Amino acid sequence: MTSSGDPISERVKVSCLYRAAEAAREWRASHVLSLLDPELSDDDVPVIIDANHRVVRIRDQENAVATPHFPDLVLETFEALRPVADDRSSRILVHCHAASAGRLPLHIA
């Protein structure tokens, strides 16, 4: 997905829910992935301008009974974003409810 001259940390950033729109604008994100609880009101979903915005409603719990959808949803999301990740010009901002703004500790093989 990336070459040695194209570190993922320069193309992917993490923000929190309440700074997502501002961070996307300031960083000039081409794509925003919002990982949000299904119970979050649509009124609280950030409005992202000038970027492709994908909202994934996912219940983040450590309970297999409450999250049987998790593996399929993660796989579907990764497959949908694969072309974006492969495009070296993409700038991807990822946020959820609680993520703190900063660098994403991510390794993509």
CATH classification of the domain holding 81: 3.90.190.10
Q: Tell me whether residue 31 is in a domain.
A: yes
Residue numbers of the domain that contains 91: 8-96
C-alpha to C-alpha distance for 43 and 59, rounded to whole angstroms = 18
Would residue 101 count as lying in a domain? no
Q: Say if 14 falls within a structural domain.
A: yes
Q: Does any domain span residue 102?
A: no
Sign, CA dihedral 45-49-55-60, equals negative
DSSP state at residue 92: E
Q: How far apart are CA 20 and CA 38, in angstroms?
A: 18
Q: How many domains does the chain have?
A: 1
Predicted confidence (pLDDT) per residue in 21-74, tens digit: 999 999 999 999 999 988 899 999 999 999 999 999 887 666 666 666 667 887
Q: Is residue 78 part of a domain?
A: yes
pLDDT range class, residue 107, cuts 50, 70, 90: very low
Is 59 within a domain?
Answer: yes
The reply to whether 25 falls in a domain is: yes
pTM reported for the whole predicted model: 0.76
